[in-house]
Amino acid sequence: MSASGAPQILREGNVTVVAYGPECDRITEDHIPETLQTLLSAITGSNPCMLFDLSHVKFFGSSFIEVLFRVWNRIQQQPGGRFALCGLTPNCAEVIEVTNLDRLWPTFPTREAALQALQTPGAT
């Protein structure tokens, strides 16, 4: 992942969206420490809610799964914390399913579907 492949972090309502653009179709170990710190610092306020839009990502490894897990764990420690993934490409969806993380983290086909669910109390 190059510097230009860093995720874009934006707010949509009460949800922090972490979106990887087309230039970042592979998330490798190169920038994992920097990415983790950026994401952990993006968890703000009460009732933190974070959505990872991975619709352009075709590959990620175990280091990125660790990042997702650490972010999810931090969010879970706060009352009302919510976490979800959307736009999983077939390879990434398979990784999430094989590791049984689809039982832990809600996944949605699109950002719109995820945002609607995350902004509805008790939906995820």
- Residue 123's pLDDT is what? 57
In this structure, is residue 60 part of a structural domain? yes
From CA 46, how far away is CA 32, in angstroms rounded?
Answer: 26
Q: Is residue 105's pLDDT more than 50?
A: yes
HSE-up of 108 (CA within 13 Å, CB side)? 18
Query: For 14-55, how does the pLDDT look when each residue is reduced to its tens digit (9 = 90+)?
Result: 899 999 989 889 988 887 877 888 888 888 777 789 999 999
In this structure, is residue 49 part of a structural domain? yes
Q: Report the predicted TM-score, pTM, of the whole model to 2 decimal places.
A: 0.89
Report the domain count for the chain: 1
Classify residue 98 by burial, with Cβ atoms within 10 Å: 0-12, 13-18, 19+.
exposed
Q: For the domain that residue 84 is a member of, what is the CATH number?
A: 3.30.750.24
Domain that holds residue 30: 3-118
In this structure, is residue 69 part of a structural domain? yes
111 closest CA partner among 50, 22, 67:
50
In this structure, is residue 124 part of a structural domain? no
Query: For 58-89, how does the pLDDT look when each residue is reduced to its tens digit (9 = 90+)?
Result: 999 899 999 999 999 999 998 889 999 999 99
- Residue 97's pLDDT is what? 96
Residues facing residue 8 across a β-bridge: 19
